[in-house]
């Protein structure tokens, strides 16, 4: 008999929690449509770069060539976003991180290469595009400094 009461209490609490979740989620959706539109736009931009690493490499080279011809902020942003997409793809598919050691003071992390071809491709892109990457990083830093000065 006690088991039935406990189950009823859990199911009742679960229903209350579900009602809270649905009411808070619907309230958040209705309260900020601008945030939703910006978030949706960002998701669309990042899914545009959900390509194979070799395709990303080719697009990165094309963006680098376009950056050499027309060093505009738009070209810098495109190059940076493509490089970020390639880096995220490589880090998620080429490497695994393993934590070793259970004591409080000593923990080691081991990076294991699980896709050597992808790692080699990434190293090649980094070495061939290193000047453009450095320039892009400096431009982005300068842009941040200008924003700091203006605000």
Is the pLDDT at 2 greater than 50, yes or no? no
Confidence check: pLDDT of 86 > 70: yes
Rg (CA), the chain: 24
**pLDDT for res 49:** 52
Query: Mean pLDDT for the chain?
Result: 76
Please say if the pLDDT value at position 78 is more than 70. yes
pLDDT score, position 94: 85
Structural contact between residues 76 and 67, judged by C-beta atoms closer than 8 angstroms? yes
Q: How confident is the model at residue 9 (pLDDT cuts 50, 70, 90)?
A: low
**How much is the average pLDDT of 37-62?**
75
Global pTM value: 0.54
């Amino acid at each position: 008999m006690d088991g039935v009461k406990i189950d009823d209490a859990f199911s009742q609490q679960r229903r209350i929690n579900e009602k809270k979740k649905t009411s808070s989620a619907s309230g958040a959706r209705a309260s900020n449509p601008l945030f939703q539109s910006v978030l949706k736009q960002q998701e669309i931009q990042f899914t545009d770069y959900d390509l194979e690493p070799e395709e990303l490499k080719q697009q990165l080279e094309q963006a680098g060539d376009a950056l050499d011809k027309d060093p505009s902020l738009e070209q810098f942003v495109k190059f940076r976003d493509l490089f970020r997409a390639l880096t995220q793809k490589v880090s998620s598919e080429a490497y695994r991180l393993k934590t070793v050691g259970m004591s409080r003071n000593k923990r080691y992390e081991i990076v294991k290469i699980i896709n050597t071809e992808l790692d080699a491709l990434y190293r090649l892109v980094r070495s061939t595009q290193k000047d453009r990457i450095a320039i892009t990083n400096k431009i982005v830093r300068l842009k941040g400094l200008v924003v700091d000065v203006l605000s």
